[in-house]
């Protein structure tokens, strides 16, 4: 069981402030949604969280481990799905997953079992010996998700896991995320899709221009935004960003 703690996290790219003093505490086993428009800083936050980017300032702890001070130890606990996963297109599905699993140090017999189970649960068994490069976009996303979880991470960091997938694939990916979380995996996922955030995450942080505008479950976000009890997240989002003195129409 692992919680995530982000304190006063700031990230600059040159003069651009991509994250501005972000603090978040994510409980063990929680499914946490990061919602914001394009360019809000979602991917930057997730990359910093998994140790790919170094913070300009602030601290991130995965359980008790500081990602900057002890990246190797922290990374062992994390499964990360990038925004645009790069897969080895010249390997077969089986070869690619074995390659990733071995790098992750998964024992051979366990790895074989995990690969078979995962391919089965995603309905990908018949693609076991196909080259990754010949798979459809949705199939590639499923293979990337399997690769993300082969080492049974306690923390899943998923950057827009459902973007650009057909409805059927979305359902199976949603089910897969649900299955991970019933096993107590702490999950943080980003999305610009309000429906995904609303149906999937327990708590949601709304991020805009590198700042956390609001955090809470949909009920408390509605309350903060002073919107009706049946208000859509979209209205809540627009209201909350408005109250920070910005005109959403200009975005």
Nearest distance in Å: CB 149, Mg ion? 21
Nearest distance in Å: CB 11, ligand ADP? 8
Q: Rank residues 29 and 39 by Cβ distance to Mg ion and give the closer one.
A: 39
Q: Is the dihedral of CA 17, 23, 27, 33 positive or negative?
A: negative
What is the contact surface with ligand ADP in residues (CB under 6 A)? 13, 16, 18, 36, 38-44
Nearest distance in Å: CB 36, ligand ADP? 5
Q: Within a 13 Å sphere around the CA of 244, how many CA atoms are in the beta-carbon half?
A: 14
Sheet holding 78-81, edge to edge: 78-81, 155-159, 186-191, 31-35, 203-208, 211-216
What is the contact surface with Mg ion in residues (CB under 5 A)? 42-43, 83
Q: Rank residues 43 and 149 by Cβ distance to Mg ion and give the closer one.
A: 43
Q: Rank residues 16 and 249 by Cβ distance to ligand ADP and give the closer one.
A: 16
Residues, the chain, total? 251
Which residue's CB comes closest to Mg ion? 43
Nearest distance in Å: CB 32, ligand ADP? 15
**Rounded Cα gap, residues 244 and 191, in angstroms:** 21
Vertex 75: Cα angle to 70 and 77 (nearest 5): 110
Q: Rank residues 36 and 79 by Cβ distance to Mg ion and give the closer one.
A: 36
């Amino acid at each position: 069981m692992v919680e995530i703690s982000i304190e006063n996290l700031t990230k600059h790219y040159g003069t651009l402030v991509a994250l501005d003093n972000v603090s978040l505490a994510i409980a063990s086993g929680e499914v946490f949604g990061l919602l914001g428009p394009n360019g809000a800083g979602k991917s930057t936050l997730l990359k910093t969280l998994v140790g790919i980017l170094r913070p300009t300032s602030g601290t991130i702890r995965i359980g008790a481990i500081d990602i900057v001070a002890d990246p190797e130890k922290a990374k062992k606990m994390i499964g990360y799905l990038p925004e645009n996963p790069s897969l080895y297109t010249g390997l077969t599905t089986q070869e690619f997953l074995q390659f990733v699993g071995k790098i992750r140090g998964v024992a051979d017999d366990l790895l074989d079992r995990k690969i078979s189970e995962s391919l089965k649960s995603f309905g990908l068994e018949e693609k076991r010996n196909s080259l990754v490069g010949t798979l459809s976009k949705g199939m590639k996303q499923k293979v990337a998700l399997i690769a993300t979880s082969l080492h049974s991470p306690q923390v899943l960091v998923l950057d827009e896991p459902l973007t650009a997938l057909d409805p059927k694939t979305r359902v199976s990916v949603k089910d897969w995320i649900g299955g991970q979380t019933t096993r107590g995996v702490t999950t943080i996922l980003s999305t610009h899709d309000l429906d995904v955030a609303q149906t999937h995450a327990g708590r949601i942080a709304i991020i805009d221009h590198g700042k956390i505008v609001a955090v809470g479950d949909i009920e408390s976000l509605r309350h903060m935004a002073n919107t009706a009890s049946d208000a859509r997240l979209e209205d809540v989002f627009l209201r909350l960003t408005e109250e920070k003195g910005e005109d959403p129409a200009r975005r």
